[in-house]
Amino acid sequence: MSNLSQRDSKYIWHPYTQMQTAGLPIGIVKGEGSYLFDENGKRYIDAVSSWWVNIHGHAHPYIANAIAAQAKELEQVIFAGFTHEPAIKFAEKFMPLLPRNQQKLFLSDNGSTAVEAAIKMALQFFFNHQKPRTKIIAFRDAYHGDTFGSMSVSARGIFTQPFNQLLFDVLFIDTPTATNHSTVVTQFQQHITEHENEIAAFIFEPLILGSAGMLMYDAVVLNQLMTVAKDHNIFCIADEVMTGFGRTGKLFACEYLSVSPDIMCFSKGITGGFMALGATTCTNQIYEAFLSNEKAKMFFHGHSYTGNPLACAAAYASLEVWEQENTLQKVKEISKLNLEFAVRLQGKKNIENVRALGTIIALDVITSEQKGYTNSIRDKLYSYFIEKGILLRPLGNTLYVLPPYCISEADLNFVFDAIETL
């Protein structure tokens, strides 16, 4: 075995992959800007930002140099009882970008753990006040991660089916659409009526439910739900793991809202796609519930790599790149191109439900099979684009484009043209 693809098959088990039927993975040897290069020299446009994490482009020299410099000084230190400059610098630069009620930052190592921390913060808040609340409201089609707490507040479906008996009960409401706003609000209010003083939090992906198929909904209904929640002392948890860092056209999706969340979760684009890092922020009200002379009231949560200096250095450098390269302007340019392409697709016979928000555009390919993650059209679409040198990873029959912000107009139009010729 000489090439990467063959060597891989001896030991490696890949995520979200049916290893029995999947072909050999493509061996990638280099990334540069919006491109990936395989071991045979073929170039691919990374039109999904390598699972939604890469925002400034692959191997961005400024972030790479920041990590290299930090690695020569301090690569890791326990974050309980110790601190370091990269974590502090990141916090000082990051926290002022959030809604003003966000005052404290807890670091972890990925999106699922950021959500786990948020759930535990909300639940333990009421436990520490000796008024336990154990229920959470979530959208029926939600996806918040693959650990058990994050699975519990996610849709019950193919992702969770083997574990459903082990997940804690959640109060689900319908995912908002253009026509069901009042119904969703009524469902929310009914849960509160039936479970008064039992509900600790309402968790949501703001404006876009990513893994559910890039389902988009309006800020108006989310503001209504959050207002009702706050009227009943229910914490609002915004899962910005996917939507954060420019994906919706603003730095954070919550900037579209008039109501501020109590807890926010971040990962994916937080380091520009270089390092694994999760972040959970909260209000002082929540933080102060854990302050006590009793050690039993501390926040019992942590990870070996909490506050890793290399990841924090990457996250700080990524925020600097936002300023240096006027990244938000690039976001606006992609958003404009997406809207123009959405207009071009109107009336195309084999697709439906074209939708766009910020740097994300999605559509559903019409097939005779039931819609959903296991629709077989997915594999055909994936292969079709790979042959053209484009990395797109459909969610069943849902095709979406979510590129790095450095992508050129020519390359984005190349991707659009390939979609249009389906």
Query: HEC states along the chain?
Result: CCCHHHHHHHHCCCCCCCCCCCCCCCCEEEEEECEEEECCCCEEEECCHHHHCCCCCECCHHHHHHHHHHHCCCCCCCCCCCCCHHHHHHHHHHHHHCCCCCCEEEEECCHHHHHHHHHHHHHHHHHHCCCCCCEEEEECCCCCCCCHHHHHCCCCCCCCHHHHHHCCCCEEECCCCCCCHHHHHHHHHHHHHHCCCCEEEEEECCCEECCCCCEECCHHHHHHHHHHHHHCCCEEEEECCCCCCCCCCCCCHHHHCCCCCCEEEECHHHHCCCCCCEEEEECHHHHHCCCCCCHHHCCCCCCCCCCCHHHHHHHHHHHHHHHHCCHHHHHHHHHHHHHHHHHHHCCCCCEEEEEEECCEEEEEECCCCCCCCCCCHHHHHHHHHHHCCEECCCECCEEEECCCCCCCHHHHHHHHHHHHCC
Cα Rg of the chain, angstroms: 22
Catalytic residue, chosen from 38, 250, 262, 268, is 268
Annotation says 400 is catalytic:
no
Annotation says 143 is catalytic:
yes
Catalytic residue, chosen from 35, 38, 135, 143, is 143
**Cα–chain center distance at 179:** 26
Tokens in use for 219? 């800020």
**CB proximity list for 76: less than 8 A, separation 6 or greater:** 305, 308, 309, 310
Annotation says 44 is catalytic:
no
Annotation says 120 is catalytic:
no
Catalytic residue, chosen from 38, 46, 109, 239, is 239
Q: How far apart are CA 408 and CA 79, in angstroms?
A: 40
Mind telling me the catalytic residues? 16, 143, 239, 268
